[in-house]
Amino acid sequence: MFKYVTVEEMRALEANADYFGVSYGEMMENAGRKSAETIIARYKQCKVLVVCGTGNNGGDGFVVARFLSQAGYQVLVILLGRAGRMRQGPALVNMEIAKGMNIPVIEADTPDKIPREAFRVFDLIIDAILGTGYKGTPREPARTAIQYINESHAHTISIDLPSGLDANTGECSDCVCPELVITFHAPKKGLERYNLETADIGIPKKAYDHIGPGDLIGLKTRGDFAEKGGGGRVLVIGGGPYTGAPAFAALAAYRAGAEIVTVAAPKRAADIIASFSPDLIVRPLSQKDVLSEKDVAALKPLIERHHAVVIGMGLGREPGTLEAVKKILPLCEKVVVDADALQPGMPLHGIITPNVHEFNRLSDKELKQNDKASADNVKLFSEKNGLVTIWKGMPAVVSDGRRVKTNSTGNPGMAVGGTGDVLAGIVGAFYCRNPAFEAACAAAFISGAAGDLAFDDKGFGLMASDVLREIPYAVKKYRPG
């Protein structure tokens, strides 16, 4: 079966590569150089026409033009647009480098400015017009350029994919018809019908197995929904012996983009939690100090009205409380289980957020903070139990039993009470509108990133409330586009 990388997966890998030290500019340089090497190995020196768009695919084309020119090919570039309107970034940089090398560049922002004769007299045409981010039918002047390329008798090579192909669907109703496609890193949908070569652009292994900003691509939060309630509704069930924990989780859910957050807590705890913030909706339970099996019936309709449930923080371990949790968990379609609810024998599912000691208790393992076997053990545990685990070691590990990723954000200053509750709240907010593994990865990254921002300011005087305040800034800083 033809295996390919999706557009979103490729964007995520590139974003993570950039975050872990291989910049977008370096990847563009690698892509253009590798493409030029392939062309030089296949075609003797000749007249080459490089047709570039104004985006990153065009930037790849300018790098190709540079290397071919240095190798003795006669190169002309047609830029389908105005150089002055290109965005700041590596594509613009490479266009300026090409011009600085006296490679002729014709700017054609309308069809009538495209020199049609060039498509007839050049021996080789390089298509670098539209990349993986393009969807729909090509617009002018790209449409006319594609027509001229297809009418030409020159050899034609497409860079990354034929311009006009929709890599999300594989459809290609009005696109370049190349004799060769040089794609980057891995094939994309639709390329199975072409003569294909794949070029390594230097994406490091860490971009796959470590969580980075790329794991926030596609993450849906409140800003992606126009209607009220679109950000998701989170129910926090916690409190009893402890009151700060459920409040931290609830406020973190708000800061991470949830639109409505409700806290269900025993009466005494509910009064205290309500005093933390007027933003919180607090529902007192039947007992003064503990969650009880008597509360299950009343919680059922409340659970049904929320998109995700976060349970466990501050509940305590009274036998009656744990029996209530056992009955509540099966009622939850999407649930984040933390702290006191993480006990052997619980019907765990959804996402769990154990610290090192809680995980060892659940799995009968003896992992330590920096255990090299943590990834394998967390993956095996998740697979066996059919859930997603965020193992709160240093570094943290996230797995759904099939995939496993390490998270490198966060710092020793976060080893303070309440930061785990903040993480659980972020997970709950993201889980409302996203799949479990993706929500868990994004939450682990944002929680640690918020902690890093707080540590920059507070050092080892950091408190959980400092992390809480930095959540929106971490999302704004690291969520791509």
Residues 51 and 187 in one domain: yes
On average, the pLDDT of the chain sits at 95
The residue from 204, 224, 246 where one domain ends is: 204
Q: Indicate whether this model's pTM tops 0.85.
A: yes
Q: Give the pLDDT score at 413.
A: 96
73 is a domain residue? yes
Dihedral, CA atoms, 78, 79, 81, 87, nearest 10 degrees?
180
Peptide bond into 141 cis (omega under 30): yes
Residues 182 and 246 in one domain: no
400-445 tens-digit pLDDT: 999 999 999 999 999 999 999 999 999 999 999 999 999 999 999 9
SS3 label, residue 449: helix
Is residue 201 within 8 Å of 34, Cβ to Cβ?
yes
Residues 222 and 360 in one domain: yes
pLDDT band at 231 (very low <50, low <70, confident <90, very high): confident
Q: Give the pLDDT score at 187.
A: 95
Q: Where are the beta strands (DSSP E) in 85-202?
A: 105-107, 124-128, 155-159, 180-184, 196-199
Is residue 236 scored above 70 in pLDDT? yes
Least confident of 115-124, 157-166, 367-376: 367-376
337 is a domain residue? yes
Amino acid symbol at 204: P
162-192 tens-digit pLDDT: 999 999 998 988 899 999 999 999 999 999 9
Is residue 420 within 8 Å of 404, Cβ to Cβ?
no
Q: Give the pLDDT score at 373.
A: 85
63 is a domain residue? yes
pLDDT band at 24 (very low <50, low <70, confident <90, very high): very high
CATH of the domain at 410: 3.40.1190.20
315 is a domain residue? yes
SS3 label, residue 113: helix
Strands 124-128 and 47-52: parallel
Is residue 221 scored above 90 in pLDDT? no
What CA–CA distances, in Å, run from 286 to 211, 233, 260, 281, 299?
42, 23, 23, 17, 11
The residue from 204, 234, 252 where one domain ends is: 204
Is residue 463 scored above 60 in pLDDT? yes
1 is a domain residue? no
Backbone angles phi, psi at 159, to 5 degrees: -95, 120
Domain count for the chain:
2
Q: Give the pLDDT score at 352.
A: 98
The answer for residues whose C-beta is within 8 angstroms of residue 365's C-beta and 6 or more apart is: 359, 377, 381
pLDDT band at 372 (very low <50, low <70, confident <90, very high): confident
Dihedral, CA atoms, 403, 408, 414, 417, nearest 10 degrees?
0
Residues 375 and 322 in one domain: yes
SS3 label, residue 448: helix
Residues 329 and 369 in one domain: yes
Residues 420 and 385 in one domain: yes
51-102 tens-digit pLDDT: 999 999 999 999 999 999 999 999 999 999 999 999 999 999 999 999 999 9
The residue from 204, 223, 253 where one domain ends is: 204
Q: Give the pLDDT score at 227.
A: 64
| Integer Cα distance of 62 and 56 in angstroms | 10
Nearest CA to 50 among 38, 41, 58? 58
Please write down the HEC assignment for all residues of 58-85: HHHHHHHHHHHHHCCCEEEEEECCCHHH
Parent domain of 200: 7-204
Residues across the chain:
481
